[in-house]
Structure 1
Amino acid sequence: MPIVDEAANVLAEPAAYADEARLHAALAALRADKPVARVEVAGYKPFWAITKHADVMAIERANRRFTNWPRPVLMTAESDEMQAAIGIRTLIHMDDPQHRVVRAIAADWFAPKAMKAMGERIEELAKQYVDRMRDTGGECDFVSEIAVNFPLYVIMSLLGVPESDFPLMLKLTQELMGSDDEELKRSTPPDEAMNALVEMFTFFTALTNSRREHPTDDLASAIANAKVDGELLSDVDVVSYYAIIATAGHDTTSSSISGGMRALIEHPEQLDRLRQHPELMAGAVEEIIRWVTPVKAFMRTAAEDSVVNGVSIPAGDSLLLSYASANRDEDVFDDPFRFDIEREPNKHVAFGYGVHFCLGAGLARMEISKFLGELLPRLRSIELAGEPELTATTFVGGLKHLPIRFTID
């Protein structure tokens, strides 16, 4: 098998995403020699790997020619069938005009005005978690003790989930997004791989019923009682809405915070620069998000015969948009493997582009900014205390362990 074909197959191998050197070597080879590559791997339905930034952007723009439905995420053929049987329809599964209408239900909760109102609360939470770091005695696993909990608290508070249920939601979101990782996934037979999703749906169905009987001033109530064409959302659609906000609003941000911490530790000159010049925070947050790229890829389906970068794509074929590759594209980013908090321009695609641009992008940026804004002035020293470990995944993920040693005031 040609080397470039072996490189393309890496995109359907969860373990490859836990080996950054191997992953990025494969993606660089694809960008250089076969930017639109056919991938046929046992256990998965075939797809085309799209690795150039310009091609990813072009496909994102053409949202009627390349649709999210029916395959928005790379999963095994078995998991594709299981999700279809359950009837999951989250925002990432929908296309216009349905997508536009359903997205609008939560849009105001993530608008700049709402984010400004949440700023003070997020600052309070950031202080609590930096205090928690200090109270560990100067050494901790930053991922499990800090990074997964801070954004979980933010998004669950926004939804209106009781704090007593936060541990359950953490467990379910990690099992759902970590289903390809031996450490994080459920220790169940393969035919029970969707149990975390089913359990999450059960939880949110009860929440929906509660908010419909007793509406409150939270996002869960807004979703539960929203009407489209005069009708409440179906049970599956409303629970799907909660599920995508809970998982996307938590796992992506926790991965960015932990990956950003690792990047700053491994690039101490950048850490010092940011500490000395806090006005660089906005740019630093963008570089952290590009560097980590917590959403590794999304899928699209060709609604008609198309051509991408000179390659004919038949109608009905799937395409994988590799954000991990696009965000290291040498044609777009000067020295893309350099972590640079002052990178300008920084046209990363970590939040997607076009009509499916991440609904919670503003919230994620604020959480990263507020956490670092609280930590850095109090930080006296920080270093790795062990080997960082990444999650095996083909969708959303980042570090699962980051042992650090530090001194905090």
Structure 2
Amino acid sequence: MTMTLTEAGLTLADPSAYADEARLHQALSLLRRDEPVHWVEAAGYHPFWAVTRHADIMEIERDHAVFRNAPRPVLAKAETDERMERSRAEGTALRTLIHMDDPQHRVTRAIGADWFKPRAMRAMEQRVRELARQYVDRMSEYGGECDFTTQVATHYPLYVILSLLGLPESDFPRMLKLTQQLFGGTDKEFQRGGTTEDIMATLLDFFTYFHRLTAARRDTPTDDLASAIANARVDGELLSDYDAASYYVIIATAGHDTTSSTISGGLHALIEHPAELARLREDPALLPTAVEEMIRWVTPVKEFMRTAAADTRVNGVAVREGESVLLSYPSANRDEAVFTDPFRFDAGRDPNKHLAFGFGVHYCLGAALARMETRALFDELLPRLDSIELAGTPEWMSTTFVGGLKHLPIRYRLKD
């Protein structure tokens, strides 16, 4: 089916396109080839420039003085943008690291940075591997068939990140549901409802929960990341309740949903590419590069937005002050100018200059943890895997921001 450039641009604002990878990549390939900086006017959204080439996205990510996160860090309906702007004016808005620019971003990011540095990751590795083993053991208990996404991939990284925060296990189901409602706000299976009010209600539930957590950790500090956030000071002042809650939200949601998407999508890629699965099982030393390829292949974060603080140009196209650009990471990670045979899953791809974690000052805080969790799960699963195949049709989440497979039915045999 022939697609016009206008239709290709509109797919970026269509949540259903991200649940149809063939359609999505047809659109992105067309834009990369014919109009890599493309003006999009989608009904219900403020217009934006769609940026689809790897080099252009890198250029924008490097120039964080001109291309700012505020006031529009992610693609949202115009009504939601305006509601968030009113909340910002009232001091009651979600204000995570992705909403911030330097210098505020730098000092706020530092609050949690030590918890994700190599030394901290080494301290966590044994626990992560124990959890990976437990979840592969659960696969044995499921009798050779399960929905890998909902029964394994979703819960394993959730357990890791919420344990790091120090939340009680009894609250994990609530955090999972709220995360699905937040990132799945445009997916009929997960959304609380389809309106801006429903999205704001989900945020309010997050804030209510984390306000209580902040008060508890300030009253009785503990040795966990939640306590570090609650008691952190910027310029001598404690974070406001909304800023503290915003910090928890980004850690608790992005810290598990992106990794679960990578793990599910990575396993699906291995099932769909049995030669790569066999190659990886024969040479386990390839696992680090295979994990990077899974991350590139899935690209759980679909986009971030930047707004020009001055008149500038991107790939020769004039971008005016106040205009927004959408950075399409799935497109960058299939860019033919950077990746040889980009639509081939290659467990040994090296180099692999994917942008799934972003680039520059906003590079993903939890990238090392995501890599470690993914590697630990496949380190445990692959040696025990005797056979595996699809047991039904995989389903992807409808989204324009964060997502991946929401169902991956598999049939398998594990070695004792």
TM-score bucket of the superposed structures, by smaller chain = over 0.9
Match of residue 332, structure 1, among 330, 333, 338: 338
Letter of the 1:349 counterpart:
L
Residue aligning to 1:379? 385
Letter of the 1:10 counterpart:
T
Residue aligning to 2:360? 354
- What do residues 155-185 of structure 1 show as CA deviations (whole Å, max 9, x unaligned)? 0000001000000000000110000101110
Match of residue 312, structure 2, among 306, 309, 322: 306
Residue aligning to 2:16? 15
* Residue pair 2:93, 2:242 contacting (<8 A) in 1 also: yes
**Deviation, structure 1 residue 198:** 1.0
Letter of the 1:272 counterpart:
A
Are the structure 2 counterparts of residues 219 and 40 from structure 1 closer, same or farther at C-alpha, using a change threshold of 3 Å? Answer: same
Alpha-carbon distance in 2 for matches of 1:188, 1:51: 28
Alpha-carbon distance in 2 for matches of 1:312, 1:230: 42
Within 5 Å, give how 1:271-350 maps onto structure 2. 271-350=277-356
Task: Classify the secondary structure of the residue corresponding to 2:12.
Answer: helix
Letter of the 2:310 counterpart:
E
- What do residues 108-140 of structure 1 show as CA deviations (whole Å, max 9, x unaligned)? 000000000000000000011000111000000
Alpha-carbon distance in 2 for matches of 1:212, 1:45: 40
Residue aligning to 2:68? 67
Count of residue correspondences = 409
Matched, 1:81 2:82: yes
Alpha-carbon distance in 1 for matches of 2:128, 2:326: 34
Matched, 1:172 2:184: no
Matched, 1:127 2:133: yes
Within 5 Å, give how 1:159-308 maps onto structure 2. 159-187=165-193, 191-308=197-314
Letter of the 2:353 counterpart:
K
- What do residues 354-400 of structure 1 show as CA deviations (whole Å, max 9, x unaligned)? 00000000000000000000001111010000000000000000000
**Deviation, structure 1 residue 188:** 6.6
Alpha-carbon distance in 1 for matches of 2:279, 2:221: 48
Stretches of structure 1 that go unaligned for 5 or more consecutive residues are none
Alpha-carbon distance in 1 for matches of 2:8, 2:291: 30
Task: Classify the secondary structure of the residue corresponding to 1:180.
Answer: coil
**Deviation, structure 1 residue 83:** 2.7
Matched, 1:110 2:89: no
* Residue pair 2:3, 2:27 contacting (<8 A) in 1 also: no
Alpha-carbon distance in 2 for matches of 1:33, 1:322: 15
Alpha-carbon distance in 1 for matches of 2:230, 2:346: 43
Letter of the 1:24 counterpart:
H
**Deviation, structure 1 residue 203:** 0.5
Residue aligning to 1:40? 41
TM-score by length of 1: 0.99
Matched, 1:363 2:353: no
Task: Classify the secondary structure of the residue corresponding to 2:313.
Answer: strand
* Residue pair 2:80, 2:196 contacting (<8 A) in 1 also: no
- What do residues 57-89 of structure 1 show as CA deviations (whole Å, max 9, x unaligned)? 000000011001111000111122233324111
TM-score by length of 2: 0.97
After superposition, the CA RMSD in angstroms is: 1.1
Residue aligning to 2:29? 28
Alpha-carbon distance in 2 for matches of 1:2, 1:189: 30
**Deviation, structure 1 residue 193:** 2.9
**Deviation, structure 1 residue 2:** 8.4
Identity %: 66
- What do residues 28-57 of structure 1 show as CA deviations (whole Å, max 9, x unaligned)? 000000000000111111100000000000
Stretches of structure 2 that go unaligned for 5 or more consecutive residues are none
**Deviation, structure 1 residue 223:** 0.3
**Deviation, structure 1 residue 190:** 5.1
Alpha-carbon distance in 2 for matches of 1:337, 1:70: 34
Alpha-carbon distance in 2 for matches of 1:284, 1:372: 10
Alpha-carbon distance in 1 for matches of 2:365, 2:131: 22
Alpha-carbon distance in 2 for matches of 1:232, 1:190: 30
Letter of the 1:387 counterpart:
T
Letter of the 1:236 counterpart:
Y
